[in-house]
Structure 1
Amino acid sequence: MSNIITAIDIGSHKVSAVVTVVDESGKAKVIGESSHPSYGIKKGEITGIEEAINSIASALNGAERMAGLTVSSAYVSINGKNIISNNNKGVVAISDSEILEEDVIRSLEQARTVAIPQAREIIHLIPREFIVDQQTGIKNPVGMTGTRLEVDAHIISAPSTAIHNIERCVQSIGLKIDDIVFSGWASSHSVLTPTEKELGVLLLDVGGGTTTITTFVEDAVAYSSCIPFGGSNVTRDLAAGLRLFSLDDAEKVKVNANELFRKAAMNKKKENTDVIEIEELGIEGAKTMSKKLFLEIMTDRIEEIFKLVVENIEQAGNDAKLPAGVVITGGSASLPEITNIASKVFGVPARVGSPRGLEGLTDSISSPAYATLQGLVQHGLQDDHVSSSGSRFQKSGGIKSGAGMADKVIGFLKNLLP
């Protein structure tokens, strides 16, 4: 069914799937969604094929049952510490004074010639801007006149092994892959505003095992990366520091912390505001915890992760302090005080980014934990040109490298027309 868009977010903590139907106005309505704990997936990478297949299949089957249909293809996320990005330029001479689609294709082919190690593959080639005879900021140069065309492109690559493992898992359950999308790029579609992208913003998707990093400058993606630290590190610290019996117990405390603190604040009879009741969580041997201790443990770890983000960005020659500040999304974005911690580390305002843009049964996928999932659907909404080879070009700017590039670029240019 051509009006169905399915997305699968393969995370370290959970695998989530959503089935949407696209109406005549181009809006996606959620008709089925489901999540399943991740097995065989660690720090964003598949470590056990069979376990990962079962997790993906369980999430997809749940979404299909709710939707009442069987899907044939899906958009799938990828992340992990080995995601690498760089910006490269492609320059071509214009033989005729008018710039044609073929000239744009040639410029992008030139940008794509950046040295990529043999064991890696380009997953996104994203035009940031076109430059015609030193005139910058051009989105669609076709029809303009000039003698020199230049493209500034953002290139994201991943290990071939990681890509092939995802392909094997997804295809083994009978699905075709519409596109494999870097989770940070996907999340940017669902949580960032046009103004933030224009001014310059840092997007952090803090998941269970990873934190993905995406920066935008002047309405163009500037840097993409991923570090192998996330909410699971906080969970382990809480288990040790609060003397809990298991990681599952620590996860319960972490996930419910905001609600527990809210209830404690509303209890006016309570004299000691540091003592937080946790008996309702059903944790063996634990009825209360110290709010101060919880915040100290959590803050120490989140500060460390954010400082690693700064180090990662600056080592690549980029600026982590951007005018529109920091937007935090992902499952760990709901941690208490996380925006205050971010503002302290990065020295700019911070906000939590919740996904938006989808309609229908969105209540259970409206939290920051589902930013990538919703972003994958929005990526699919913009993906309205399919080449004869089956590869796709994203209206949002991403070209999957390989055959059919001419068709992809032509589709992209048409999408830019009024």
Structure 2
Amino acid sequence: MHQSKSVTHTFHARTYPLRVHAGADALAALPMELQRAGASRALIVCGRSVHERTDLTQRIGTLAGGRVAGIYSRISEGAPAESIEEAAAKAREVGADALIAVGAGSVIKGARVVAMLLGENRPLVEMATVHRDDAPAVSQRLEAPKMPIFNVLTSPSSAQNRGGSAVRYRGDAHHLEFFDPKTRPQAVFWDSHALATAPSTLARSTSFEIYWWGLMCMGALETTNPLAQASRRHAWHLARQSYPRLGREGDAAARIDLCAAGLLQNRDEEDGGRPWSCHLLARAAYASAVAVFNHYDGITQPRGYAAFAPAMIRALGACVPDVTRALGEALGMMLPDGSGDAELAERVAARVARDFQGQGWRTDLHDRGIPAADAPMLIALALRNYNANHDRLLDPHREAMQTAIAATLAPQ
């Protein structure tokens, strides 16, 4: 690797208690977990398809032996605020003392915000991160106790063990961001049967976020601390080996390996690695993808990741040539010294695009009918992303990012 900085040995790490149950019949441990938490009236939170098209909620209810008080099954993609508020109302109605989140990213993130609503007992907007122009965003302190959460994954997700969440919101805000470490789960379940309920197309979509972040974090491998380095190396190894196997029927190991990669990405964050803002290119692509996802219906966040990563490498890669080179090398490129930074950025952007296309992803949004004229609005939203721009590092690159967004939206 040709990094300009060496590994840092000044860092702060923390470890949160978590139990992981994986493999065939892993859900058999759920009654023990509920009993350990003193929970007797858990609310299952899930999406409509999980409740209506699988036997998971029925299976969980049977296993829990009377410890499930109800089901809320209308969490949809992006965790819209209305569904979060309805789920909290349902929890109050049944007197819930725990949440069992059954699903992937949106459901798991949504359950955390439900717990925040129940614990804090105040409106979403009063709990959300505050964004101010030309100043760092401020994350609200949410001090009230939160009820225990148990996450049952139906598809690999890097949302499984975090304290942060975001929900889609009405009006100009578009989405609200929250953070409360007390909403981390007490246990997660990588049950082979539960993971098999997601069609391969859905598993490939949700798991691409893990694959994408695995690659992006390799761009900052040599500049993070030794604990985070270990998580990044193995998360990328697992993701690169397992993601192409998701289409194989009955390959439970691939889905569990991707769950493990997602958990390692969570651990990277706990170990002080700050994976969500690990370098300029990841920040720019992530913020742009989230802005598009929250503003337009029908565009998933992984679709945005696939589209904006090559675009931002091409636009900004020359600003951080060591990061750009590391991304190329993670994909097996042999990059001799001596090439110009702009040429390096173009070559690596093309290689990343080919890799994503080889995994079945389109690397632009030209088919979505979004006008390039929307780019100024989207860059404004992107720069308000707390994870990507909490320290305003993206602000000086506004013009280059806006140009890249416009080119990604529509042919130039």
TM-score between the two structures when normalised by the length of structure 1 = 0.26
Q: Work out which of the two has the higher radius of gyration on C-alpha atoms and give 1 or 2.
A: 1
More strand by share: 1
Higher relative contact order (CA 8 A, sep 6+): 1
TM-score between the two structures when normalised by the length of structure 2 = 0.26
